[in-house]
Amino acid sequence: MAATARPVTPAASLTTAGGTTTKIHITVNGELYSAEVEPRTLLVYFLREVLGLTGTHVGCDTTNCGACTVHLDGRPVKSCTVLAVQANGRQVRTVEGLEVGGKLSPVQQAFYEEHGLQCGFCTPGMMMTATALLARNPNPSDAEVRDAIRGNLCRCTGYVNIVKAIKAAGKKMQEPPAGGGGA
């Protein structure tokens, strides 16, 4: 974790003139940020509009679709239903944090190779849920994969290739590291 917090200016798009604000410190993808936010600011808008991390998408307003899924202290959450202040002092990981050192994560690589995405709108949230699943169960059955992503809606793929991709990623993660390579 970075030692000093990077102060970020609350985006004009999220502040109301004269509204009260709260100072928060959030670590996102390994970097510590501090900002003054309105208490009602949703985590997803903090990520998208304050930090400019627009890979996390908003697909609904009832916590059904999962396009906004990020990790909060390693657990997948729907960031449209978490206030930014609730993430104060905690670790957030977004789709932008999946790639490490210019190397796609096994889940990203598998979504690419198995045609696990079409329009790409649900994909970031889907991959975050998949990443969390494989961290606790690297060898899930079809039914376990389908159950894990039941809170992530996809309108394009019919899920078949998403299930394939997640299982392929799990398999890849269990292989001994080959060294080098990657897309």
Partner 1 sequence: MSTDAPHVKGGIGQSILRKEDARLIRGKGNFVDDVKLPGMLYLDITRSPYAHAKITAIRTDKALKVPGVLAVITGKDLEAAGLAWMPTLMSDKQMVLPTDTVMYQAQEVAAVVADSRYAAADGAAAVEVDYEPLPVVTNPFKALEPGAPVIRTDRAEKSNHIWHWETGDKAGTDAALDGSAVRVTQDLYIPRIHVSSMETCGCVANMDPVSGRFTIWMTTQAPHAIRTVYALVTGLPEQNIRVISPDIGGGFGGKVPVYPGYVLASVASIKTGHPVKWIEDRSENLQADSFARDYHIHAEIGATQDGHVTALRVKTLADHGYTDAAANPSKFPAGLFHIITGSYPFAKAFVEVDAAYTNKPPGGIAYRCSFRVTEAVYTIERMMDLLAHKLNIDPAELRLKNFIPPEAFPFRSALGWTYDSGNYAGALRKAMEIIDYAGLRREQEAKRAKGELMGIGISSFTEIVGAGPSQTFDILGIKMFDSAEVRIHPTGKVIARFGTKSQGQGHETTYAQILAEELGLPADDIRVEEGDTDTAPYGLGTYASRSTPTAGAAASMAARKIREKARVIAAHLLEVSPDDVEWKDYAFRVKGVPGKSKTMAEVAFAAYTNHPKGTEAGLEATDYYDPPNMTYPFGSYICVVDIDKETGQVSVRRFVAVDDCGTIINPMIVDGQIHGGLTMGFAPALLEEIQYDEDGNIHGGTFMDYLVPTAVETPNWETAKTVTPSPHHPIGAKGVGESATVGAPPAIANAVMDALRPYGVDHIDIPLHPWKVWQALHGGGKSA
Binding site for partner 1 (CB under 8 A): 12-19, 38, 40-41, 45, 48-49, 52-62, 64-65, 67, 94-96, 98-99, 104, 108, 111-113, 115, 117-124, 127, 142, 145-147, 149-163
Looking at the Cβ atoms of 4 and 20, the one nearer to partner 1 is 20
Instruction: State the nearest-atom distance from the C-beta of 73 to partner 1, in Å.
Output: 20
Residue 123: CB atoms within 10 A of its CB come to 24
Among left, alpha and beta (phi > 0; psi -120 to 50; other), residue 30 is: left
Residue with tokens 């932008």: 96
In angstroms, the Cα distances linking 42 to 14, 52, 53, 115, 136 are 9, 14, 14, 32, 27
Q: Chain centroid to CA 156: how far?
A: 20
Which C-beta is closer to partner 1: that of 27 or that of 69?
Answer: 69
Toward partner 1, which CB reaches closer, 64 or 89? 64
**Least CB distance from residue 3 to partner 1, whole Å?**
26
**Alpha-carbon gap, residue 68 to 53, rounded angstroms:** 11
Nearer to partner 1, 89 or 158 (CB): 158
CB of 8 to partner 1, least distance (A): 15
